[in-house]
């Protein structure tokens, strides 16, 4: 059974924990408490299997605190990560600049492919949620961007997240198949 490690990273108060709880069908948190370090949520998704072989997949979603005081822990969090979801609050202009740093640290420096990264513009309840494309600078503008609004259209982000998980699992399966072929030949 394949097990994938997915990191949820991004600026403080962007909605990572609320989104993580929703996508993993974990408990609802009603009041804001900044994540201290990291929370690890383990889950399975019946819609995601390994290379159409019907083999189930397990996921670890690492909900990482957005405060830079945890920066010394980042190398340990990044170890063996298969994917990174960068969550930002689309209504806070400074988040657009901050996500460049998250991308640099968690994707580029870890030599992950852009296909292993998902960018989520999270709209908090009551924000109105401007769904236009934020002005993303290169290389962020090459990433898959999805909007999340749990109040207006919660199923849209769930479907996009399932697609993302499928792409991560397919990538892991292909990599494992290549390794097995090298051993055989």
User: Token digits for 179?
Assistant: 């390794």
Give the number of other Cβ atoms within 10 Å of residue 138's Cβ: 7
Listed residue (161, 158, 14) closest to 94, CA to CA: 14
The answer to which of 29-33, 45-49, 181-185 has the lowest mean pLDDT is 29-33
The answer to which of 19-28, 43-52, 72-81, 97-106 has the lowest mean pLDDT is 43-52
77-92 CB burial, b ≥16 within 10 A, e <16: bbeebbbbbbbbbbee
pLDDT tens for 4-28 read 999 999 999 999 999 999 999 887 6
pLDDT of residue 159 exceeding 80, the answer is yes
* pTM score over 0.95: no
What is the band of 37 on the pLDDT scale with cuts at 50, 70, 90? Answer: confident
> 139 preceded by cis ω (within 30°)?
yes
What is the band of 98 on the pLDDT scale with cuts at 50, 70, 90? Answer: very high
Query: Residues near 136 by Cβ (< 8 Å), separated by ≥ 6?
Result: 96, 119, 143, 145
Listed residue (121, 161, 124) closest to 141, CA to CA: 121
Phi, psi at 117, each rounded to 5°: -120, 140
């Amino acid at each position: 059974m394949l097990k994938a490690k997915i990191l949820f990273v991004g600026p403080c108060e962007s909605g990572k924990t609320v989104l993580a709880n929703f996508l993993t069908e974990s408990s609802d948190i009603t009041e804001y408490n900044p994540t201290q370090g990291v929370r690890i949520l383990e889950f399975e998704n019946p819609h995601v299997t390994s290379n159409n072989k019907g083999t189930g997949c397990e996921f670890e979603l690492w909900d990482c605190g957005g405060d830079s005081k945890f920066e010394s822990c980042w190398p340990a969090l990044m170890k063996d990560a298969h994917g990174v979801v960068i969550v930002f609050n689309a209504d806070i202009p400074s988040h657009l600049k901050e996500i460049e740093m998250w991308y640099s640290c968690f994707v580029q420096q870890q030599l992950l492919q852009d296909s292993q990264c998902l960018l989520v513009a999270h709209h908090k309840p009551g924000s109105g949620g401007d769904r236009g494309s934020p002005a993303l600078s290169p290389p962020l503008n090459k990433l898959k961007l999805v909007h999340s609004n749990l109040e207006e259209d919660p199923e849209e982000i769930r479907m996009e997240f399932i697609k993302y998980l499928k792409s991560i699992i397919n990538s892991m399966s292909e990599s494992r198949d290549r390794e097995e072929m090298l051993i055989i030949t």
